[in-house]
Structure 1
Amino acid sequence: MSTQPSLRAHLDDYLALRRALGFKLHNAGRLLGQFVDYLDEHGLHTPTIDSALAWATLPTGASTSWRAIRLSAVRGFAAYLHSIDPRVEVPAAGLIHHGPDRATPYLYSDEEIRALLQEAAALRPALRAATYQTLIGLLAASGLRVGEAIALDSTDLDTEHELLVVRHTKFDKSRLVPLHPSTMGALRRYTGLRDQAHPRPACPALLVSTTGARLLHSNIGLTFTRLARQAGIVRRSAACRPRIHDLRHSFAVATVLDWYRDGADAAAMMPKLSTYLGHTDPKHTYWYLSAAPELMALAGRRLDAHLAGQP
């Protein structure tokens, strides 16, 4: 079968069918679109196990869990295609072993975040620089997921109450995210520059590309990787490399560190942080914090002080 337009059309049908059954498939839809692009670029007309593996193992150095996620997305689509065209090969379940290798969060220091913003400022044209400075600053200051930031529309920025309305998030919930005045000021400056560059918006997105379109997750990842490299930020281990998503982890850890330093009851405050981050359960927030030695040290000192005060 040819990949254009039939394979793309099959992908649209597959996603429509799954979504009609209640599956969101935000990530799967994006990944499978990239898989079809990969097949097109390599002149491949029928998905095979080899082509699925070659694509799933990209980029070089990706974690095993990420490779398994990519292959799993292809496997479901391939099974659907196989029912239409027996030549399509379906990768076996477990072809990529998915062990307990969840990536270790890369916790950015204030200096590293400033270095990222400085490198973003050198991007060209000026709107692209402003967009990435604003995106990185917003993620670092609010703990939003990257996908949530991409999905924001201009109408989701409430300048009167200084907050964002984050709609239909990972668990199909919406929430309000109050912002610091400095963050609001940065967003106001950005929207002013954006509106000058695109007085007639091509889309309702809050953060836009140089063409005025909504940002693409894949492009953000590539640009951030380059900015991190230019800023001298390198991986700390095989499982700990700088990712843009880790700005969210860094925000969570920094928030709890401030609580401990201020003498606040961190345990009592944790449900508030979970709500702010859009977690369904505080246990997910606690996982973020397990990778912060400084936080564990502060918690240990708090426990020592408590025990010392006991009769």
Structure 2
Amino acid sequence: MSKNYEYSSILAPFMQGLVDEKRAMGFSYDSTAYVLKEFDQYCVDKELSTIHVTRNFMDDWMKRKDTEGAYNQTGRVSASRQLLLYMAGLGHEVYIPVDFTTKKVHPPHVFTHPELISFFEELDAFVPAIKGGKCRIWEYKVFFRVLYCTGMRCGELLKMPVSEVDLVNGTMTIYQSKGRKDRVVYLADDVCQLCVDYLKCITKELGYEPHWFFPGRNPDDHMSYSSMNSNFNRFWNATPYADKVDKKPTVHSFRFTFVVDRMNDWMEQGVDLETMLPYLSKYLGHKGVRETFYYYIMTNDVNRIIRQKDHFGRSVIPKLGVRS
């Protein structure tokens, strides 16, 4: 017989809703329901008056008590995290704890649309001070846009030879990438035209067509990882969002954002995700759909859309633990 608890804080309806949902699925959920009762009292003691739960509000709850070990602390945080994920799934803006004591979880940053706009505005406004820098800054304008618009791995794009870029048909061919996979990546028309203009510019500057689509300071080498990362950090740090995120984004965040945006768009449009996911997985060079779904579970908005639109995703998401 499951133990029933009465919740009295402003979050009580959500706590009861989560418990009811889990028990309807066949789980006893007794231990978590008990922890939620403790969290309910925490909300009462802290006089929480809004369902907009912030990180500051959660700070004291997530700290380890003097009388508990790491295991119990993790259990408390995990229970509150399930509740906040449930609330996010219903469309409420809440902070979701991600750090656990026994195993650190480091989800990547997924760009919001305002963050992307701000990043590219900073990038486009940059004026290089060195001679010949005009085409070099073109490199970054094109590089970061291609990353976001195709979901390619940054190493794949850095090492892309001009010979494998078909700007007539709008494709880039990747050979022997991660897992020794070959694949073709398609460019949107506007991105393809951007690449055409960029290649003309860099070829004119060098006096010949380079071997690498994104050559480094030494044109015989491709753009370096350090140069790519330092310039990404320069433009990101210039945005008003740089000091407002829990986890600093990296260049790889463009790939995560590409996946999240594609799948969100499909589900909002009513496209069958179970049909499309294998195609997206192959396009990204993943081994299978589980790796692709890892990218997809990293934002609050995902939980809302999955809860509203997708039954396939609910069965896959709890089983993930891989990254590619």
Change (3 A) 1:170 1:185: same
- TM-fit CA distance, 1:115: 2.0
Change (3 A) 1:205 1:109: same
- TM-fit CA distance, 1:275: 0.7
Where in structure 2 are the equivalents of 1:37-76 lying within 5 Å?
Answer: none
What is the distance in 2 between the residues matched to 1:303 and 1:285?
Answer: 15
For structure 1, which runs of at least 5 residues remain unmatched after alignment? 1-98, 305-311
Q: TM-score, normalised by structure 1?
A: 0.62
Provide the residue aligned with 1:158 in structure 2.
Answer: 166
Alpha carbons 2:267, 2:310 under 8 Å: kept: no
Provide the residue aligned with 1:271 in structure 2.
Answer: 278
- TM-fit CA distance, 1:172: 1.4
- 2:106 alignment partner AA: A
- 1:152 alignment partner AA: M
2:123 corresponds to 1:116: no
What is the distance in 1 between the residues matched to 2:274 and 2:245?
Answer: 30
Provide the residue aligned with 1:218 in structure 2.
Answer: 226
Kindly provide the CA deviation profile for residues 97-127 of structure 1, in whole angstroms up to 9, marking residues without a partner as x: xx74353121112232222222223041212
Where in structure 2 are the equivalents of 1:21-100 lying within 5 Å?
Answer: 100=103
2:184 corresponds to 1:184: no
- TM-fit CA distance, 1:211: 4.5
What is the distance in 1 between the residues matched to 2:244 and 2:105?
Answer: 15
Provide the residue aligned with 1:128 in structure 2.
Answer: 136
- TM-fit CA distance, 1:265: 0.5
Q: TM-score, normalised by structure 2?
A: 0.59
Provide the residue aligned with 2:84 in structure 1.
Answer: none
Change (3 A) 1:140 1:303: closer
Kindly provide the CA deviation profile for residues 205-239 of structure 1, in whole angstroms up to 9, marking residues without a partner as x: 0012354341011221121112100123326665x
Kindly provide the CA deviation profile for residues 2-36 of structure 1, in whole angstroms up to 9, marking residues without a partner as x: xxxxxxxxxxxxxxxxxxxxxxxxxxxxxxxxxxx
For the aligned residues, what is the CA RMSD?
A: 2.1
What is the distance in 1 between the residues matched to 2:283 and 2:244?
Answer: 28
Kindly provide the CA deviation profile for residues 218-266 of structure 1, in whole angstroms up to 9, marking residues without a partner as x: 221121112100123326665x211110000000000001101111011
For structure 2, which runs of at least 5 residues remain unmatched after alignment? 1-101, 312-324
Kindly provide the CA deviation profile for residues 80-111 of structure 1, in whole angstroms up to 9, marking residues without a partner as x: xxxxxxxxxxxxxxxxxxx7435312111223
- 2:278 alignment partner AA: P
2:203 corresponds to 1:200: no
What SS does structure 1 have at the residue aligned with 2:185?
strand
